[in-house]
A = this chain, B = another copy of it.
Amino acid sequence: MVSLPKLRPIDPPSAAFLLAESKNQPMHVGGLQLFERPEDAGPDFVRELFEAATSNDDEVMPLFLKHPHRSIKTAGQLFWREDDQFDIEHHVRHNALPSPGRVRELLELCSRLHSTRLDWERPLWQAHLIEGLADGRVAMYTKIHHGLVDGISAMRLLQSTLSTDPDERGMAAPWTKRAIRRAKADTKGDVDAPMTEAAHTLAGLPGDALRTALGITAEAAGMPGALIKTLSKGARNETSTVSFHTPRTMFNRSITGARRFAAQDWPVERIRGVGKATGATINDVVLAMCGGAIRTYLLENDALPDSPLVAMVPVGLKAKESHLPSAEGGNAVGAVMARLGTDQADAGERLVAVQKSMKDGKDALQSLTPVQVLAMSAIGQAPAILGPALKMQGIIRSPYNLIISNVPGPRTTHYWNGAKLVGNYPLSIPINGMALNITCTSYDGSMGFGLTGCRRTVPHLQRLLTFLDAELAALEKAAGVS
């Protein structure tokens, strides 16, 4: 008798992310990491990394061995099935940039890699080692399906397998069991909580979907009743966490399958400086930077609406406040609707508007019941899934124009086989009706911004980087710290 690969049911939020996928709406998240070559690296450093990473010496984690499966035998239901013909060279790839090998060529390659759908016949991930940057740095772009891992878990997973020791060599690739065992052993002396959590989460959920506290709340997608109640409550209260008074913008249209990605980082110290002088949080300043940059971008496209754009911003809640223990006893997450002050010409006033909007939102969040908080989070985590549900309820317009997330990362320098991690940028998921996503993450004193947009609906996306830079300078001037 032939032994058939084991089938495991797919949990509802994972299945929802799989089913939300279409030609124009691939549902994978990504990450771009930049490394400096170690001093002892030879000319074939990247090829050697690639060959080590695709050798069969290390066992791949179960999470990275399963793929969705549906057949007559499963009555059309989706199951996870182990790939019995796993082909590591399909998943791990060696790339190069064309001349002149600037960051521009790197972002163009990432845009293209992020545009293609993952193949359901295979485990839902890819990792690309990229050589050819003129300055000698090495890049790694990774993509993982949202049905397998949420974006934050994916980034933490990658980080958790890195080392704080520049002299460590022989480190396994992040998708192997050995890397995870190493990360777990390493966490005792490590003060970076997110990494510890990721390692624990991985240990606890070896064969299933990997979700942080933020991701787990996506299960609330299965609670339309509670969600609609929360949204209705929001509709009655303008200062609530939910606002329906969003203008329709050029970002809120149908999307195509092609993506454009832009990324850059700024010193956290500069952002913190503006916050200290104005009483704003780092997150407020990040949102004001986004608001100002988007204002300039829309002005340039002759598409600025009169009323301010609204961003959905996931915020962490202390477990006590949220009355909700997360899977790891850590934080639960709520969503705040933040007005971005795009109607204000002055950078300082824009920051004030963002601050007030965020404070109101957080206050309102405190007054929600736990189930309502879960439902709120679900909006942010699963807009593509909730869209049809909202439409059925007669709520046709999205309650926000875009999602802006800011996820804290490790504060210390990390290494992979001696290569120093010098940049870390998230790539997210534009969806129909929401063509732009901004996700930020901090690392080692820098705040990395990752902007992912539909290539057609958000033309010249990279201009937003210039505008973000100008906006930080304007905020510094307004705060009197420049």
A50 to B108, CA, bound (A): 14
Contact-residue size bin, chain A (C-beta under 8 Å from the other chain): 20 to 34
User: In the complex, which of the residues B93, B96, B117, B456 contacts A97, with contact meaning CB atoms closer than 8 Å?
Assistant: B96
> Chain B's nearest CB lies how many Å from the CB of A82?
15
Contact A456 B85 (CB under 8 A): yes
A98 to B46, CA, bound (A): 9
A85 to B457, CA, bound (A): 10
User: In the complex, which of the residues B99, B112, B121 contacts A44, with contact meaning CB atoms closer than 8 Å?
Assistant: B99
Contact A132 B258 (CB under 8 A): no
Chain A stretch 437-453: residues in CB contact (< 8 A) with chain B? none
Given A119-B256, A121-B456: A131 and B98 interface contact (C-beta under 8 Å): yes
A85 to B112, CA, bound (A): 19
A96 to B94, CA, bound (A): 11
> Chain B's nearest CB lies how many Å from the CB of A78?
15
Given A95-B98, A96-B132: A456 and B47 interface contact (C-beta under 8 Å): no
Q: Chain B residues near A257 (CB, 8 Å)?
A: 119, 121
Contact B456 A99 (CB under 8 A): no
Chain multiplicity (copies): 2
> Chain B's nearest CB lies how many Å from the CB of A54?
12
What is the 8 Å Cβ interface bit string for chain A, positions 80-115, against chain B (1 contact, 0 not)?
000001010010011111111000010000001000
Is A24 engaged at the interface, CB distance under 8 Å to the other chain? yes
Closest-by-CB residue of B relative to A85 is B456
A134 to B375, CA, bound (A): 56
What is the 8 Å Cβ interface bit string for chain A, positions 16-45, against chain B (1 contact, 0 not)?
000000011000000000000000000110
A47 to B47, CA, bound (A): 24
Contact A90 B122 (CB under 8 A): no
Is A307 engaged at the interface, CB distance under 8 Å to the other chain? no
Contact A96 B93 (CB under 8 A): no
A100 to B119, CA, bound (A): 28
Q: Chain B residues near A44 (CB, 8 Å)?
A: 99-100
Closest-by-CB residue of B relative to A43 is B99
Chain A stretch 353-392: residues in CB contact (< 8 A) with chain B? none
Is A339 engaged at the interface, CB distance under 8 Å to the other chain? no
> Chain B's nearest CB lies how many Å from the CB of A213?
33
Query: Which of A43, A99, A116, A256 is most buried by chain B, counting CB atoms within 10 A of its CB?
Result: A99
Closest-by-CB residue of B relative to A254 is B121
A97 to B132, CA, bound (A): 9
A122 to B454, CA, bound (A): 13
Chain A stretch 119-149: residues in CB contact (< 8 A) with chain B? 119-122, 131-132
Q: Chain B residues near A43 (CB, 8 Å)?
A: 99
Q: Chain B residues near A90 (CB, 8 Å)?
A: 258, 455
Contact B96 A24 (CB under 8 A): no
Given A87-B456, A258-B90: A24 and B121 interface contact (C-beta under 8 Å): yes
Contact B116 A116 (CB under 8 A): yes
User: In the complex, which of the residues B46, B94, B100, B117 contacts A47, with contact meaning CB atoms closer than 8 Å?
Assistant: B100
A50 to B131, CA, bound (A): 20
> Chain B's nearest CB lies how many Å from the CB of A102?
11
A93 to B108, CA, bound (A): 10
A278 to B119, CA, bound (A): 47
Q: Chain B residues near A85 (CB, 8 Å)?
A: 456
A102 to B70, CA, bound (A): 40
Contact B99 A47 (CB under 8 A): yes
Q: Chain B residues near A47 (CB, 8 Å)?
A: 98-100
Query: Which of A95, A98, A132 is most buried by chain B, counting CB atoms within 10 A of its CB?
Result: A98
Given A93-B112, A456-B85: A131 and B24 interface contact (C-beta under 8 Å): no
Contact B46 A122 (CB under 8 A): no
Contacts A/B (CB < 8 Å), 7 sampled: A43-B99, A46-B98, A85-B456, A87-B455, A94-B98, A94-B105, A122-B258
Given contacts A46-B99, A96-B99, A122-B258, 15 further A-B contacts (CB under 8 A): A23-B120, A24-B121, A44-B99, A85-B456, A90-B258, A94-B105, A95-B98, A96-B98, A96-B132, A99-B131, A119-B256, A119-B258, A121-B456, A122-B256, A132-B132
